[in-house]
Amino acid sequence: MADRALSALIVDDEAPARRLLGLLCVELGLHVAGEADCGEAALKALCERSVDILFLDIAMPGMGGMEAARRLPRDAHAPAIVFTTALTAHALAAFDVGAVDYLLKPIEPDRLVLALMRARAFLTGRDAGTTAIEDHLWVSHRGDLVRVDLAAVQRVEAERDYVRLHVEGRSHLLRETMENIAARLPGPLFRRIHRSTIVRRDLITGLRHEGGGVWSVVLHDGAALRIGRSYLEDVRQRLTW
- Class of 136-240 per CATH? mainly beta
Pairing of strands 136-141, 144-149: antiparallel
Which pLDDT score, from 0 to 100, does residue 42 have? 97
Residue spans per domain, the chain: 7-127, 136-240
Residue 2 has pLDDT above 70, yes or no: no
Which pLDDT score, from 0 to 100, does residue 73 have? 83
- Written as one letter, the residue type at 72 is L
Order of all β-strands in the sheet with 214-219 = 204-211, 214-219, 224-226
Q: Which residues are CB-neighbours of 172 under 8 A, at least 6 positions away?
A: 139, 140, 141, 146, 148, 164, 165
In this predicted model, what pLDDT tens digit does every residue of 53-108 receive, in sequence order?
999 999 999 999 999 999 998 777 889 999 999 987 777 677 778 888 889 899 98
CATH number of 7-127: 3.40.50.2300
Average pLDDT, rounded, for the chain: 87
Contact 155, 203 (CB under 8 A): yes
Local structure of 57: helix, strand or coil:
coil
CB atoms within 10 A of CB 174: 18
Contact 165, 148 (CB under 8 A): yes
pTM flag (> 0.95): no
Residue 187 has pLDDT above 70, yes or no: no
What is the C-alpha to C-alpha distance for residues 229 and 62, in angstroms, rounded to an integer? 49
Residue 241 has pLDDT above 60, yes or no: no
